[in-house]
Amino acid sequence: MSLSVVERRNVDILSTDVLVVGGGAAGVAAAVTARRQGMRVTLLERYGFCGGGAVAGLSGTVCGLYLATERADARPEQVVFGFANEFVRLLESHGGLAAPVRYGRTWTRVHDPLVWRDVADALLVEAGVRVIYHSVAIAALMDGERIEGVRAWTKQGPLDIRAKVTIDASGDADIVAMSGLQDFIGDRGRVQNPTMIFRLLGVDVERFLAVHGDDTIMGADVSAKLRAASELGANLPRAKIWIFPTTRPGELLCNCTRVTGADGRELNPLLRDDFTEAEIEGRKQVHAYAQFIRENLAGCENAFINDTGVQAGIRQSRQVTGVTRLTNSDVVAARKFDDGIAVSPWPIELHSGAKPKVEWILDDFYTVPYGCFVPQSGEGLLVAGRSLSAEHEAVASARVTAQCFSYGHAIGHAAAVAVNERLEPRHVEASAIRRALDMDGANLS
């Protein structure tokens, strides 16, 4: 039997200056920034809302804004500004962002994912970005080695979007892979495990905090109880868990699960069977951790599961092979690059095994070079978000929300310069991007 591949609907065609694929923190920042520079901008997003890992994955926190320190009298010291700061202030003004909370030696901020969606929608509409929800890029449009846009799947039918510059903010370097450009996956194919994050309602948060303290990383006593329960057969593979009070009364955000395969492997979300297994196993673990929390943590006796992520939270998948690669030593040495276009004070936070590995950068930060977002080969394409060119441990620091906002902010400017000056993105001077960022209040200088 001979099968034909059939799609009889007409292919619609759309032209734009800048195409952004993916509406997470990096994609929204890139799209709004490029539009503010006068570009015609189109944003493709597979869900019916923006937010990426922060919303669909329910990561729930804006990490990476503040310095880490061991000073006992320290207060949160913000070092990341620009678009990240703008988005934070908008979340605050809509009641969708909690005050900074302790996270080991630093601080983070819990956001309301519903408010996140609304703020992103408003920014995109106000800027005049053309947003196409429920759309997935399925192929790259290429002229030789140059990416000229993508073909997208939509309910209406196939859509060819032709762009002068394409920004891959998919989180998984999807356009890089479709184009046949060089990429890599984690540590020789091994990636950090996915997590299914969930929220609990019905909590006496005041009593919870009085007993367990204000550090959102639960203490050694909780870890000991988790290990004991696991040894008795409970499905509790991770002993170091993080629990955050949210902006809502009686609610906790729980980052607890460690989703691995039935064979013990770290699941790779780029593999369809692994991603499916991660979703099913993740939801199973949510029920096990919720039961443990009810039975063992003060104030949680009447807690119940409010919701889980729309999908398993993905920490790491495919990354671009860039002109520059951020190394592990760059991070721990707090290196500052002349072509740095984003600041990060966040620790290396490597999720593997029962206890995540955290390596702090104290009272300092590093910068991320522009070359980490420029593919080593191919033209017309930039990357923004967690699929930057970075070593395995380095991306465990560089992938968090505040930094993804900063990457999108910078890459949006880079795309606008490339279009305005008729340059390939690799020929855009980082100094020009830095000047534009500082004019937007990024404080890189």
Closest CA to 49 of 274, 311, 255, 277: 311
CB 154 within 8 A of CB 135: yes
Range of the domain at 128: 12-189+316-439
User: Residue 410: inside a domain, yes or no?
Assistant: yes
- Are both 243 and 172 inside the same structural domain? no
Long-range contacts of 72-81 (CB under 8 A, 24+ apart): 76/100, 76/107, 79/343, 79/345, 79/365, 80/342, 80/343, 80/344, 80/345, 80/402, 80/403, 80/405, 80/406, 81/441, 81/442, 81/443
Q: Would residue 261 count as lying in a domain? A: yes
Look at residue 354 and tell me whether its pLDDT is greater than 70: no
Asked whether residue 5 is assigned to any structural domain, the reply reads no
Same domain membership, residue 395 and residue 292 = no
Judge if 42 and 176 occupy the same domain.
Answer: yes
Query: Quick check: 351 pLDDT over 70?
Result: no
Alpha helix stretches (DSSP H) within 78-158:
83-93, 113-127
Better pLDDT: 22 or 193: 22
Based on the fold, state whether residues 174 and 36 are members of the same structural domain: yes
In a domain? residue 268: yes
Same domain, 338 and 320: yes
pLDDT over 70 percentage in the chain: 98
Q: What is the pTM of this model?
A: 0.96
User: Are 257 and 403 in a shared domain?
Assistant: no
| Same domain membership, residue 227 and residue 177 | no
Q: How far, in Å, CA of 242 to CA of 397, rounded?
A: 17
Q: What is the pLDDT of residues 206-249, one digit of tens each?
A: 999 999 999 999 999 999 999 999 999 999 999 999 999 999 99
User: What would the pLDDT profile of 71-91 be if each residue is shown by its tens digit?
Assistant: 989 999 999 999 999 999 999
**Could you tell me if 229 and 173 lie in one domain?**
no
In degrees and rounded to multiples of 5, residue 363 shows phi and psi of 55, 35
19 or 356: whose pLDDT is higher? 19
Is residue 354 within 8 A of residue 330, CB to CB? The reply is no
Instruction: Examine residue 3 and state whether it is found in any structural domain, yes or no.
Output: no
Average pLDDT over residues 83-112: 97
266, 287, 308 - which closes a domain: 308
* 211 domain-assigned: yes
How does residue 352 score in pLDDT terms, banded at 50, 70 and 90? low
Kindly report the average pLDDT of the chain as a whole number: 96
Residues 411-418: what's their mean pLDDT?
98
The answer on pLDDT for 395 being more than 60 is: yes
**In the predicted model, is pLDDT for residue 18 greater than 60?**
yes
Residue range 168-194: mean pLDDT, rounded: 93
Contact between 16 and 130 under an 8 Å Cβ cutoff? The reply is: yes
pLDDT at 192: 85
Supply the pLDDT for residue 355: 56
Closest CA to 237 of 217, 218, 256, 221: 256
Q: Considering 308, 329, 345, which residue would you say is the last residue of a domain?
A: 308
pLDDT of residue 358: 78
* pLDDT at position 445: 83
Q: What is the mean pLDDT of residues 429-435?
A: 98
- pLDDT category at 367 given cuts 50, 70, 90 is very high
Q: Are residues 24 and 157 in the same domain?
A: yes
- Using CB atoms within 10 Å of the CB of residue 75, give its burial: 0 to 12 exposed, 13 to 18 middle, 19+ buried: exposed
Final residue in a domain of this structure, among 308, 333, 354: 308
Tell me whether strands 136-143 and 146-153 are parallel, antiparallel or unpaired: antiparallel
For residue 93, give the amino acid letter.
Answer: S
Question: Per the domain annotation, does 241 fall within a domain?
Answer: yes
Q: Residue 117: which CATH number?
A: 3.50.50.60
User: Which pLDDT score is estimated for 356?
Assistant: 63
Whether 129 and 35 share a structural domain: yes
**Quick one: pLDDT band at residue 187, thresholds 50, 70, 90?**
confident
Closest to 115 measured CA to CA, from 134, 129, 95? 95
Statement to judge: residues 223 and 161 lie in one domain: no
Task: Give the pLDDT band (50/70/90) at residue 264.
Answer: confident
Q: Mean pLDDT throughout 258-280?
A: 94
Q: Which two tokens stand for residue 72?
A: 């006992």
Do 177 and 239 share a structural domain?
no
Q: Is residue 332 part of a domain?
A: yes
Number of domains, the chain: 2
